[in-house]
Amino acid sequence: MCVDGSTPEIYGIYRDITERKHAEEALKRSEAYLSEGQRLSHTGSWARNVSTGEVYFSQESFRIFGLDPATTKVTIETVLSRMHPDDRPSFAETIQKAFHDASDYEGDYRIVLENGTIRHIHLIGHPVKNAAGNVIEFIGTHMDVTEQHLSRKALQDALVEINTLKEQLLQENVALRQEIDETSMFEEIRREEQLIAKGVEGARDGWTDRFYCPHLWGNRHRQGTDRTCDSQSEFQAIERLRQGELCRDSYRFT
């Protein structure tokens, strides 16, 4: 450009954009921190335009749903296609009610990836309104809680197994106690039979060896002379001992 028409001149404007560059760098760092935080916590962010149906997914949201951000344009139909068939009706009802009431919503759902893997998702949504009070979009997060769900289920299964083993052990203890009681009863019967036989044999020989039947031989220790017992009395003593009519006591002749 020539001012006087003879010598060309060049004019320029310099603008200090240092602050803008700093802001851009800060924004990039903030986005990087957010992305890394979402990756570490398995939490993705999303937004859905109510009028157009367009859905925004963060990088972590794409990862959770097993979608390629380079080739996938996310819509509400995309999300529904990933929903477990049993959870689709309740999910559709929840978002429909949230839109009608312009309210927050929250829920737990399952999604099915292309390879058949099932993931458990905790979803939170929040309505955004315009100046007129109408809902224009929803924003929210979905967290992959599959590991927590599996850990909780493993703990529940372990508690069920512990209770089952506890019940089995209790039943085995009861059976063992019954077996011990029966064995003790048989031992007691055997000892009584031995004592009966020993008492009768002692009566034949004229002594009792710590076995004493007061109903039959109660006067022998006082008389000191009558040291015999006829056969009929012996058999009566055995029968009465078996039936519990006679008692045992500790006694020894002197």
The tens place of each residue's pLDDT in the chain, 254 residues long, gives: 555 556 666 666 777 777 777 777 776 776 776 677 777 778 999 999 988 888 999 999 999 999 998 998 888 888 888 999 999 999 889 988 998 899 999 999 999 999 999 999 999 999 999 988 899 999 999 999 998 888 888 888 888 888 888 888 888 888 888 877 777 777 777 776 676 666 555 555 544 444 444 444 444 444 444 444 444 555 555 555 555 555 444 333 33
Range of the domain at 49: 18-144
Q: Pick from 119, 144, 169: which residue ends a domain?
A: 144
Looking at the domain assignment, is residue 9 inside a domain?
no
Give CA–CA dist 2/103, Å, rounded.
66
Residues 24 and 53 placed together within one structural domain of the fold: yes
Give CA torsion, residues 144, 100, 72, 148, to 10 deg. Answer: 10
Q: Which long-range contacts (CB under 8 A, 24 or more apart) does 225-234 make?
A: 229/203, 229/204, 233/203, 234/200, 234/203, 234/204
Give 217's contacts (C-beta < 8 A, 6+ positions apart).
203, 208, 229
The residue written with tokens 């399952």 in the block is 110
Residues 168 and 53 placed together within one structural domain of the fold: no
User: How far, in Å, are 175, 182, 244, 247 from residue 186 at the CA level?
Assistant: 17, 6, 16, 19
Range list of H helices, 42-145 = 59-65, 76-82, 88-101
Q: Pick from 110, 144, 178: which residue ends a domain?
A: 144
Looking at the domain assignment, is residue 253 inside a domain?
no
Looking at the domain assignment, is residue 254 inside a domain?
no
Residues 160 and 139 placed together within one structural domain of the fold: no
Looking at the domain assignment, is residue 11 inside a domain?
no
The pair of three-digit structure tokens given for residue 225, joined into one six-digit string: 């002379």
Domain count across the chain: 2
What is the CATH classification number for the domain harbouring 25? 3.30.450.20
Residues 28 and 140 placed together within one structural domain of the fold: yes
Residues 31 and 117 placed together within one structural domain of the fold: yes
Looking at the domain assignment, is residue 7 inside a domain?
no
DSSP state, 163? H
Q: Pick from 144, 167, 188: which residue ends a domain?
A: 144
